[in-house]
């Protein structure tokens, strides 16, 4: 409804205004529209207002309805005021009306303008929703987080971040982040951390450690950055404990002095000490990581499978067995003692201890000697090795003096020993005693 005009707004290019979300108009003193320029959408917005009527073929504001905001604004403008108000559907537009004056500076009407704010309002709402979602993610994410501008000044920080840096919000917002966080010195790190800790790691004055990641969230040329910090204090403590446990485990394995290896339930060797390496004549680095079956003669893989099944079932704390092992092109018969971890330990490895190893023929001969000694004689030997007197041995085993003398004479003859000390020494030399046991214990064949 563009009307041909009067003085006041003729300088505005109609073709440009009609393509913008704006409208301009002029009225006479009776508030009849004398000039109106707007695109179709704005034209519809204003024309369908209840404040606009058509009278005598001319459109204008209904002065009989002064309580309507549009009419009230024009009446005030006609009286000499400049009025700004919200109008349109859902107050989606902002309008302004001001007196239109003639050549003698008298008021001859009203000139008005309107800007449709719908697109801007929708953009503002969209941005507000996005900000609420972002802040909700920052506040409810459970990790320390902050938003930084292009100069690394903090523009937002959540509660976890403020707790981490130990500062109130007012001391953080607007300030550079670099004085807030502290990268731990290289000397404070464990050897494993020095290699594995990311460059973004930092820690607080209280010793809480964080792993950080900063990345840009630039939009429309804004160089904002997002700083996410995940606390690793407990993880670092566990890593440190694991590192120390590994060192302790290696020291214990090497300090035992007898061949042993740590084997997973799937049969992979996780650790081996130097004694095991010497027993098999294979360097340690060529043992760790391989399958235990690689060191067992193919003919004994069935016996190995039985031992592994016993370990998997964990029906016993200790599993005993014998295996033929490879050693530099030779074969040795090894007595194996496997310490099975209980389920409560949550461990998936067992300790395989080689209690003795030698040529199979010599091993069988020694085993035959062990099996030929009756249980009573084993107990006599154990008490002798413990340093008990004859009277103490006889009392402990409920033997008469003559009965004990007979047992000692029989043992000295069998072991070719002419005294108590020689008897104990010969028993140790022939492998009758378990060298890893105290009080002294004779080996059993069962």
* Domains parsed from the chain with CATH numbers: 14-116 (3.30.450.20), 124-237 (3.30.450.20), 257-358 (3.30.450.20), 365-429 (1.10.10.10)
| Res. 186: pLDDT tops 50 | no
| Res. 184: pLDDT tops 60 | no
Per-residue pLDDT band at 197 (split at 50, 70, 90): very low
Per-residue confidence (pLDDT) for residue 147, from 0 to 100: 86
Half-sphere exposure of 270 (CA within 13 A, CB side): 16
Task: Give CA torsion, residues 247, 248, 250, 256, to 10 deg.
Answer: 160
What is the DSSP annotation of 93-137? EEEEEEEEE-TTS-EEEEEEEEEE-HHHHHHHHHHHHHHHHHHHH
Helix/strand/coil for 91: helix
Regarding predicted confidence, which is higher, 442 or 430?
442
Per-residue confidence (pLDDT) for residue 12, from 0 to 100: 61
Per-residue pLDDT band at 2 (split at 50, 70, 90): very low
* Residues 6 or more apart whose Cβ sits within 8 Å of residue 244: none
CB atoms within 10 A of CB 249: 13
Most confidently modeled range among 107-116, 301-310, 329-338, 396-405 = 107-116
Per-residue pLDDT band at 100 (split at 50, 70, 90): very high
Helix (H) or strand (E) holding 438: none
Alpha-carbon span 252 to 190, nearest angstrom: 21
Per-residue confidence (pLDDT) for residue 60, from 0 to 100: 92
Per-residue confidence (pLDDT) for residue 83, from 0 to 100: 96
Per-residue confidence (pLDDT) for residue 372, from 0 to 100: 59
Condensed to tens digits (0 to 9), the pLDDT of residues 67-83 reads: 999 999 999 999 999 99
Condensed to tens digits (0 to 9), the pLDDT of residues 424-434 reads: 888 877 777 77
Per-residue confidence (pLDDT) for residue 246, from 0 to 100: 80
Per-residue pLDDT band at 194 (split at 50, 70, 90): very low
Helix (H) or strand (E) holding 185: none
Alpha-carbon dihedral sign for residues 310, 311, 314, 320 = positive
Average pLDDT over residues 394-413: 85
Average pLDDT over residues 250-271: 86
Per-residue pLDDT band at 218 (split at 50, 70, 90): low
Q: By the 8 A CB rule, do 88 and 45 touch? A: yes
Per-residue confidence (pLDDT) for residue 192, from 0 to 100: 42
Per-residue confidence (pLDDT) for residue 31, from 0 to 100: 93
* Residues 6 or more apart whose Cβ sits within 8 Å of residue 107: 29, 78, 80, 99, 100, 101
- Among 21-35, 109-123, 289-303, 369-383, which stretch is predicted with the lowest mean pLDDT? 369-383
| Res. 224: pLDDT tops 70 | yes
Q: By the 8 A CB rule, do 131 and 137 touch? A: no
Alpha-carbon span 327 to 334, nearest angstrom: 11
* Residues 6 or more apart whose Cβ sits within 8 Å of residue 336: 307, 320, 321, 322, 323, 352, 353, 354, 355
Per-residue confidence (pLDDT) for residue 255, from 0 to 100: 82
Regarding predicted confidence, which is higher, 393 or 206?
393
Per-residue confidence (pLDDT) for residue 1, from 0 to 100: 40
Q: What is the pTM of this model?
A: 0.41
CA 283 to chain centre: 37
Per-residue confidence (pLDDT) for residue 330, from 0 to 100: 80
Alpha-carbon span 44 to 15, nearest angstrom: 17
| Res. 188: pLDDT tops 50 | no
């Amino acid at each position: 409804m563009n009307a041909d005009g009067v003085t006041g707004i003729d300088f505005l290019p109609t073709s440009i205004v009609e393509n913008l979300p704006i409208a301009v108009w002029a009225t006479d003193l009776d508030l009849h529209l004398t000039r109106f320029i707007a695109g179709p959408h704005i034209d519809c917005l204003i024309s369908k207002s209840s404040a606009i009527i058509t009278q005598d073929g001319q459109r204008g504001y209904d002065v009989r309805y002064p309580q309507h905001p549009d009419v009230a604004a024009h009446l005030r403008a006609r009286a000499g005021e400049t009025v700004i108000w919200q109008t349109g559907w859902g107050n989606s537009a902002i309008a302004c009306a001001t007196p239109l004056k003639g050549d003698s500076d008298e008021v001859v009407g009203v000139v008005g303008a309107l800007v449709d704010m719908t697109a801007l309002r929708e953009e503002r709402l969209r941005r507000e929703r996005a900000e609420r979602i972002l802040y909700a993610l920052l506040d409810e994410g459970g990790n320390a987080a902050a938003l930084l501008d292009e100069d690394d000044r903090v523009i937002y920080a959540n509660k976890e971040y403020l707790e981490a840096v130990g500062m109130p919000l007012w001391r953080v917002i607007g300030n550079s982040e670099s004085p807030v966080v502290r990268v731990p010195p290289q000397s404070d790190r464990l050897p494993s951390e020095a290699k594995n800790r990311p460059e973004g790691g930092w820690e607080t004055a209280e010793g809480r450690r964080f792993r950080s990641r900063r990345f840009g969230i630039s939009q429309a040329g804004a160089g904002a950055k997002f700083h996410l910090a995940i606390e690793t204090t407990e993880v670092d403590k566990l890593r440190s404990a694991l590192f120390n446990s590994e060192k302790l485990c290696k020291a214990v394995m090497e300090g035992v002095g007898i061949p042993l290896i740590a084997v997973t339930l799937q049969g992979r060797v996780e650790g081996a000490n130097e004694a095991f390496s010497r027993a098999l004549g294979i360097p340690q680095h060529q043992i760790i990581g391989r399958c235990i079956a690689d060191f067992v003669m193919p003919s004994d893989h069935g016996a190995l499978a039985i031992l592994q099944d016993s370990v998997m079932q964990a029906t016993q704390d200790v599993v005993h067995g014998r295996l033929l092992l490879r050693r530099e092109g030779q074969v040795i018969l090894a007595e194996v003692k496997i310490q099975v971890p209980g389920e409560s330990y949550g461990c998936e490895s067992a300790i395989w201890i080689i209690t003795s190893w030698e040529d199979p023929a010599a091993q069988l001969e020694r085993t035959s000697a062990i099996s030929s000694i009756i249980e009573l004689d084993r107990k006599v030997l154990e008490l002798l090795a413990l340093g008990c007197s004859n009277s103490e041995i006889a009392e402990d085993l409920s033997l008469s003096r003559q009965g004990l003398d007979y047992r000692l004479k029989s043992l000295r003859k069998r072991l070719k020993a002419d005294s108590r000390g020689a008897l104990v020494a010969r028993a140790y030399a022939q492998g009758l005693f378990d060298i890893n046991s105290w009080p002294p214990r004779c080996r059993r064949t069962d």
